[in-house]
Structure 1
Amino acid sequence: GQRFTYENKHFLNLLATIAEFVRFNSSPMGMLYNIFPRLMEILPGEQHKVFANIELIREFVKMKIKEHEDTLDPGSPRDFIDCFLTRMHQEKDNPSTEFHYENLQATVMNLFVAGTETTSST
């Protein structure tokens, strides 16, 4: 993985975005979204700002995955992303594999958000 300093403005922005996402997810509106996602997408409210923030986090994760793809050495994995990318390449001809880009992106996003929120609140 990669460490960020607390002076890194991009990282501080991501922390604020994640904190807002976690706060929303714990709110009544967030709970309604979890039950009725399609309805919440058409109703006005703060959830639209949260959706935009999720896109910022998703773009950050995509950028990190791309950096790993560009520097990947399958014989010397550095972290989870490298291992997943290597396995993805090994299973590229398997149509029923779970090792595809969408799963990598979702898993890394979940790990990043959960890990960042956990460590920033303790």
Structure 2
Amino acid sequence: MKPDEFAAKLMKATPDQLEALDDAHWRYISLIGLVSDAVPADVVEADQKAYPHFIKLNGAMTVFDDADCEVFMASVTGLPVEMCAAWRDKDFYTLHGETADEMADRQQTQP
């Protein structure tokens, strides 16, 4: 999703919904073990019991799965998957300064 697309989708969200999306995203990355100490341990433990199918490893590496992230966020917020995808893409863009598609294209063209 391009920045203008995720921005347009997120402009429809209320401040409470944006906060819920942020919290849900932190919960997902805590659930799969990408971060620690961002979410209370009891919440992470409860999420791990309720959503073990989202915890995936590739060897010893945690796997971030876009579709799983969207479904998890929608499940815990009650918001549409499309809005959750927009938040996830906004977060990626904010962190990396490019979209996931732009990053993948750039990496494919590097020797």
Q: Which bracket does the TM-score occupy, shorter chain normalised? A: 0.3 to 0.5
Q: What TM-score does the superposition give when structure 1 sets the normalisation length?
A: 0.33
TM (normalized to structure 2)?
Answer: 0.35
Structure with the bigger RCO (C-alpha within 8 Å, sep 6+) is 2
The structure with the larger Rg is 1
